[in-house]
């Protein structure tokens, strides 16, 4: 199984930016890939005309991932925060856990765009202003993480899909 990511970093050079991502993926405790590749040839500087388009695509993809988790909870009958009191332990509670981690800024295999500057899946208005003011030391670093062990389909199924009720 592989996961694609785009990291936003602040560094003096593309090499230092790359180094930050390698260090992060090598030492992050919540996700330990068996191997990963940082795509040096695809680094995008804030000076590159593609930068903002790629950044916006990453933010949009994160929003869609989060919305997907929320839609899945709603499809299972959990519409309101109060409904979570009756949430059984298992797949659905793991889904709530993923949502909390995503909103809280914990990197995961589901993270598409990850802002290493602010430890976030999003971009604060403050940092966006800083970037738009012309500072030149921001980079987007694409990476792919791989797990040697296959994830079994049942680990990816919701109860509704698994039991077909």
Against a cut of 0.85, is the pTM above it?
A: no
Rounded to the nearest integer, the mean pLDDT of the chain is 86
DSSP state letters, 46-88: TTSTTHHHHHHHHHHHHHHHHHHHHHHHHHTT--SGGGGGGPP
Contact 20, 11 (CB under 8 A): yes
Q: What is the pLDDT of residues 33-74, one digit of tens each?
A: 777 888 888 999 999 999 999 999 999 999 999 999 999 999
- Alpha-carbon distance values, 135 to 6, 66, 97 (Å): 20, 30, 36
SS3 content of the chain, % helix, strand, coil (to 5): 50, 15, 35
Q: Is the pLDDT of residue 158 over 80?
A: no
Summarize the confidence of residues 17-31 as an average pLDDT. Answer: 86
Domain boundaries, the chain: 2-7+14-65+108-163
């Amino acid at each position: 199984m592989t996961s694609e990511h785009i990291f936003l970093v602040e560094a003096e050079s593309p090499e230092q930016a790359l180094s930050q991502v390698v260090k992060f993926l090598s030492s992050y405790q919540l996700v330990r890939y068996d191997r990963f590749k940082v795509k040096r040839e695809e680094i995008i500087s804030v000076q590159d005309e593609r930068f903002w388009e790629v950044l916006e695509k990453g933010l949009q993809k994160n929003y869609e991932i989060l919305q997907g988790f929320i839609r899945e909870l709603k499809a299972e009958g959990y519409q309101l925060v109060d409904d979570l009191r009756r949430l059984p332990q298992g797949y659905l509670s793991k889904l709530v856990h993923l949502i909390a981690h995503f909103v809280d800024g914990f990197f995961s295999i589901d993270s598409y765009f990850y802002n290493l500057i602010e430890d976030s899946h999003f971009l604060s208005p403050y940092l966006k202003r800083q970037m738009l003011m012309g500072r030149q030391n921001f980079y987007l670093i694409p990476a792919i993480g791989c797990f040697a062990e296959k994830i079994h389909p049942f680990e990816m199924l919701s109860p509704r899909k698994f039991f077909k009720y």
